[in-house]
Structure 1
Amino acid sequence: MRRLLPVLLPLLIGGAARGADDDAPPPLEPLPEVEEDQELQPEVTIRRRGKSVIEEYRIGGQLYMIKVIPPIGPPYYLVDTDADGTLDTRRSDLEEGARVHQWRILEW
């Protein structure tokens, strides 16, 4: 047994290495270029009113959020949560609380 182990060990290692090369998957094809839809990117308008800064965010020409940065105090957001054109929610942080997603299915 002591004489058989030094002979079989290199054969087993060589066979395992040869089998690993055979199991290699073929190279993957590169992914196609993804074109970003400019209509989905928000259009930001920055206005200065006195010492305050107001940032208006629009998608498809519709105002959906305003960020107000006052000279004193933290910034806050006015958000249109149901896409009716009324800024009905005021938030101090966009990550606060759970927000339910609301999508427009049909419009006429």
Structure 2
Amino acid sequence: MQAMKLLALGIFCAAQVSATEPGVPANLEPLPEAAPAPPEPVQSGESLEPDIRIIQKKDAIIEEYRLNGNLYMVKVIPAVGRPYYLLDQDGDGRMETNMSEIYSDFVVPQWVLFSW
């Protein structure tokens, strides 16, 4: 008997809630069926991300960054000290240093390979 009263009360409350909901506006548009198609892949053949080659040595880690096969930046992370960059800023194939103000007088190490 108690269950019947609870069931009747539940039906009555559900009817009251549905009766108090406002009507659906006439100017509603239906939701789209599916998400829009993704954009087409790049057709030019150029890669958008650089190729990164990581070389681990015992005293440093060297990261080479290439775009379309051309080396444009080298990041050197020494075992002791701060990382620094060598950049090809003008596209001539020669790397220039780009250091922070801490290393304002930094000189790229150079060695004599041949002499006579």
Taking structure 2 as the reference length, what is the TM-score of the superposition?
Answer: 0.51
Equivalent pairs counted in the alignment come to: 79
* AA partner of residue 96 (structure 2): D
* AA partner of residue 70 (structure 2): Q
Match of 1:23 in 2: 28
Match of 2:62 in 1: 54
Residue 86 of structure 2 corresponds to residue 78 of structure 1:
yes
Structure 2: gaps of 5 or more residues: 1-18, 101-116
Match of 1:100 in 2: none
Q: 3-state SS of the aligned residue for 2:66?
A: strand
Taking structure 1 as the reference length, what is the TM-score of the superposition?
Answer: 0.54
Question: d(CA) in 2 for partners of 1:71 and 1:45?
Answer: 18
Divergent runs of 4+, >4 A: none
Task: Identify the match of residue 52 of structure 2 among 44, 66, 73.
Answer: 44
Identity over aligned pairs, percent: 42
CA contact (8 A) 1:40 1:60 kept: no
Q: CA-atom RMSD, angstroms?
A: 3.0
Structure 1: gaps of 5 or more residues: 1-9, 93-108
Q: 3-state SS of the aligned residue for 2:41?
A: coil
Q: Which has the larger radius of gyration?
A: 2
